[in-house]
Amino acid sequence: MNTIKQEKYNSLLRAADKAKENSYSPYSDFKVGATILTKDGKRIDGCNVENAAYGSTMCAERAAIYKAVSLGYKPGDFEAIAIVSSGKNFSPCGACRQTIAEYEFKQSKNIEVFFTGETGNIVKANSLKDLLPFAFDNSLL
**Short-list 45, 4, 49, 20, CA closest to 116:** 20
**Which three-class secondary structure state does DSSP give residue 112?**
strand
Q: 63, 47 in Cβ contact below 8 A?
A: yes
Phi, psi of 63 (to 5 degrees): -60, -45
Which of 7, 21, 50, 61 is catalytic? The answer is 61
DSSP assignment of 17-84: HHHHTT-B-TTT---EEEEEEETTS-EEEEE-B--SSGGG-B-HHHHHHHHHHHTT--TT-EEEEEEE
61 assigned to active site:
yes
Q: Which residues are catalytic?
A: 61
